[in-house]
């Protein structure tokens, strides 16, 4: 199902609101804020991703979130991945929706359900296994030695897992 935008918003097909999706987001940090969106569009004006491509529209993402378009939003090729996390929309929003936080919540839901792009899924896995985004190899360590750098630090991965899993 596709929401078509032309001269303002137009919903082309009947859509039954998926309240279960709202509830899923409500329990993710800051995910509940989408409920405050009244579709004013202030978040769109200075959005750099929107300025780059009009097909990216944070107001429309908030609307799809409210209506429960999970199949469109929670996907490896979802438009949410074009958000730069710049937080401009959060500064502009009069309702304190913090659209970027909703988009991050959607991204987290993608990772949790294995629906993030491969590259993101690999980065998330590396962070959970080593605490950093790129695993150090023996070649990395050798190069660091040659450059006179200290060995790579290790990180308390078990503590990190507890934070991520909300324990």
Contact residues: ligand SF4, CB under 6 A: 37-43, 47-49, 58-59, 62, 83-89, 92-93, 95, 97, 99-100, 103
Of 91 and 129, which CB lies nearer to ligand SF4 in the complex structure? Answer: 91
- Nearest distance in Å: CB 22, ligand SF4: 15
- Nearest distance in Å: CB 101, ligand SF4: 9
CA distance 137 to 126: 12
CA distance 40 to 59: 8
- Nearest distance in Å: CB 28, ligand SF4: 17
- Nearest distance in Å: CB 104, ligand SF4: 9
Please report where in the chains the tokens 């078990």 appear, as a residue.
158
Of 82 and 130, which CB lies nearer to ligand SF4 in the complex structure? Answer: 82
Backbone angles phi, psi at 56, to 5 degrees: -90, 125
Of 111 and 131, which CB lies nearer to ligand SF4 in the complex structure? Answer: 111
- The closest of 2, 83, 6, 71 to 43, measured between CA atoms, is 83
Of 39 and 134, which CB lies nearer to ligand SF4 in the complex structure? Answer: 39
Cα-Cα-Cα-Cα dihedral sign, residues 123, 121, 71, 68: negative
Give the single-character DSSP code of 2. -
CB 160 within 8 A of CB 127: yes
- Nearest distance in Å: CB 66, ligand SF4: 9
Of 48 and 140, which CB lies nearer to ligand SF4 in the complex structure? Answer: 48
CB 102 within 8 A of CB 31: yes
Please report where in the chains the tokens 């958000």 appear, as a residue.
83
């Amino acid at each position: 199902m596709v929401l078509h935008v032309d001269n303002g918003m137009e919903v082309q097909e009947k859509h039954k609101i998926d309240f279960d999706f709202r509830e899923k987001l409500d329990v993710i940090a800051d995910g509940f804020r989408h409920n405050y969106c009244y579709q004013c569009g202030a978040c769109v004006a200075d959005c750099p991703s929107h300025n780059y491509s009009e097909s990216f529209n944070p107001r429309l993402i908030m609307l799809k979130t409210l209506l429960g378009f999970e199949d469109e939003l929670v996907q490896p090729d979802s438009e949410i991945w074009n958000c730069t996390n710049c937080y401009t929309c959060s500064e502009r929003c009069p309702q304190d929706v913090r659209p970027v936080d909703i988009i991050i919540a959607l991204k987290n839901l993608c990772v949790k359900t294995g629906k993030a792009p491969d590259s993101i899924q690999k980065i998330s896995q590396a962070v959970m296994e080593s605490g950093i985004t790129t695993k150090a190899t023996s070649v990395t360590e050798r190069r660091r030695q040659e450059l006179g750098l200290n060995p790579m630090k290790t990180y308390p991965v078990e503590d990190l897992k507890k934070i991520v899993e909300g324990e």
